[in-house]
Amino acid sequence: MKVLVTGGAGYIGSITSEILLDEGHEVVIFDNLERGHREAVDARARLIQGDLRNREDIRGAMRDARPDAVMHFAAFALVGESMQDPMLYFRNNVLGGIQLVEAILERGVKKIIFSSTCATYGQPDRMPMTEDMPQRPTNPYGESKLMLEKVLNWERERHGLQPVFLRYFNAAGATEKLGEDHDPESHLIPNVLRVALGKSRALNIFGDDYPTPDGTCIRDYIHIVDLAQAHILALTGEHTGAFNLGNGDGYSVKQVLEVARELTGHPIPAEISPRRPGDPARLIAGADKAKQVLGWKPKYPEVRTIVQHAWNWHRAHPNGYRK
C-alpha cells in the first residue's frame, strides 16, 4: 500500500515508516521537521516538508501523494508541556488534525490509523485498562487526542471513514538504525540512559509518594517495534475502532532504573524530585482486543529487552541524530 505518514521524522513515525518499507509498502512522509529529524527519514521514503497547521500544505501533500491510507503521528506529546501551554496542543494536535481529516475526506481516502494515547482515559477506575473505559483526560495532551478521536468518529458515521485509534501506553526501545531523540528529553528510559552515558549527573525521580509498592509511578512499557507492527496490522483488513497497545505489565520508575543499572553496569545515581503535574500513579494496558482482533503478538514484551535496545541505540548515537 501507499501510506502517507504524518510525523514520519519523529520517534514512532520514523520507526513505523522503516518497518512499512521493510515490508514492501510505499511511504510518503509529511513532517515539518520542528521536533523530528531529517536524519530519521528513511532514504527509501519520500519527504514532503509541511505543517498541518497550514491547510494548503496538507491538502497539497494529499493531492500529490495520492495515498491509499494515512498514518497520523504528527503531534506534540508531552503531558507537562501541555499543562503549561494548552493552546499549543489544541492548535497543533486538534486544529492540525482536523485539517488533515478534511484533506483525507477531500481525496476520498478511508483508512486512517491515528496515534492516540492511554492519556485519553485519565485516572482509571480499574486496572488493566480496557478500551470501553470512560475517557476523562486529566491533561490537555490527552484531551487533544480525545478531541481528534471524536472528530474521526463523527466522520466515520457521516463519510464512512475507517479510523483506527491506537492508544499507546509507554513507547520505548529502538531499532538498529532509529531511536528516541527529543530535545529536551522528558521520557524516563532515555533520561536514565543519559546518566549512564555521562550526559547528566543523576536521574530525577518525579515523586516517590505515590500509592504504589515503592512509591514511584508505574507504567506499561511497549517496544517501539511492537507498536509499529500493530499499525501495520491495523492497516490491512476492515478494522476500525480503538485498540490499547501495551504489554499488560507495570514497572515502577525505580524498577526501570534497576534494570538499566544492571544492563549498563553504571550506578546511575538518582534523586527524588517533586511530582510532575498531570502524572497518574499507575497505567497498565489491557491489550487483549488488539491481540484478538488485529492478531497482534508483541515480539519484545520484556522490559529488559526494551531497555537493552534503547541502550544499544543511545550508545551508538550518544548525541542522538546530531553528528
With CB under 6 A as the rule, give the number of residues binding ligand UDP: 15
Least Å from the CB of residue 214 to ligand UDP = 12
∠ Cα 309 207 273 (to 5°): 90
Helix (H/G/I), strand (E/B), else coil: 188: helix
Q: Which of residues 200 and 305 has its CB atom nearest to ligand UDP in the complex?
A: 200
Write down the number of H helices and E strands in the chain: 11, 13
187 contacts ligand UDP (rule: CB under 6 A): yes
Q: Which three cell numbers stand for residue 270?
A: 538518582
The interface mask with ligand UDP, positions 241-270, x = CB under 6 A, is ------------x-----------------
CA distances, 228 to each of 13, 206, 304 (Å): 8, 29, 19
Binding status of residue 206 toward ligand UDP by CB under 6 A: yes
Q: Which grid cell sits at 9?
A: 521524522
- Applying the rule CB under 6 A, the residues between 273 and 292 that interact with ligand UDP are 276, 279
> Residue 204 or residue 312: which is nearer to ligand UDP going by CB?
204
| 200 contributes a contact to ligand UDP by CB under 6 A | no
**Among 295, 214, 196, CA closest to 205:** 214
Q: DSSP letter string over 66-77?
A: --SEEEE--S--
Going from the C-alpha of 82 to that of each of 36, 199, 216, 287, the distances in angstroms are 18, 26, 22, 26
Those residues whose C-beta lies under 8 Å from the C-beta of residue 115, and which sit 6 or more positions away, are 7, 12, 13, 71, 72, 73, 75, 166, 168
Q: Which of 141, 210, 221, 251 is catalytic?
A: 141
The reply on whether position 104 binds ligand UDP by CB under 6 A is no
Catalytic site includes residue 121: no
Instruction: Tell whether residue 79 is a contact of ligand UDP (CB under 6 A).
Output: yes
Q: Which of 52, 69, 75, 205 binds ligand UDP (CB under 6 A)?
A: 205
In angstroms, give the least distance from the CB of 276 to ligand UDP: 5
Task: Determine, following the binding rule CB under 6 A, whether residue 170 of this chain makes contact with ligand UDP.
Answer: yes
Residue whose Cβ sits closest to ligand UDP: 217
Cα distances from 154 to residues 111, 138, 160, in angstroms, run: 14, 23, 9
Instruction: Tell me, residue by residue from 110 to 149, as one string, x for binding to ligand UDP by CB under 6 A and - for no binding.
Output: ----------------------------------------
**To 10 degrees, what angle do helices 11-22 and 224-235 make?**
60
Looking at residue 39, the DSSP 8-state letter turns out to be G
* Residues 6 and 73 sit within 8 Å (Cβ to Cβ): yes
Nearer to ligand UDP, 105 or 268 (CB): 268
Amino acid at 218: I
Which amino acid does the sequence have at 32?
A: N
The answer to whether residue 186 forms part of the interface with ligand UDP (CB under 6 A) is yes
- C-beta of residue 123 within 8 angstroms of C-beta of residue 136: yes
| Segment interacting with ligand UDP (CB under 6 A) among 33-41, 48-56, 93-101, 185-193 | 185-193
Among 45, 188, 193, 242, binds ligand UDP (CB under 6 A): 188
Query: Does position 217 bind ligand UDP by CB under 6 A?
Result: yes
Binding site for ligand UDP (CB under 6 A): 79, 170, 186-188, 191, 203-206, 217, 219, 253, 276, 279
The catalytic residues are 141
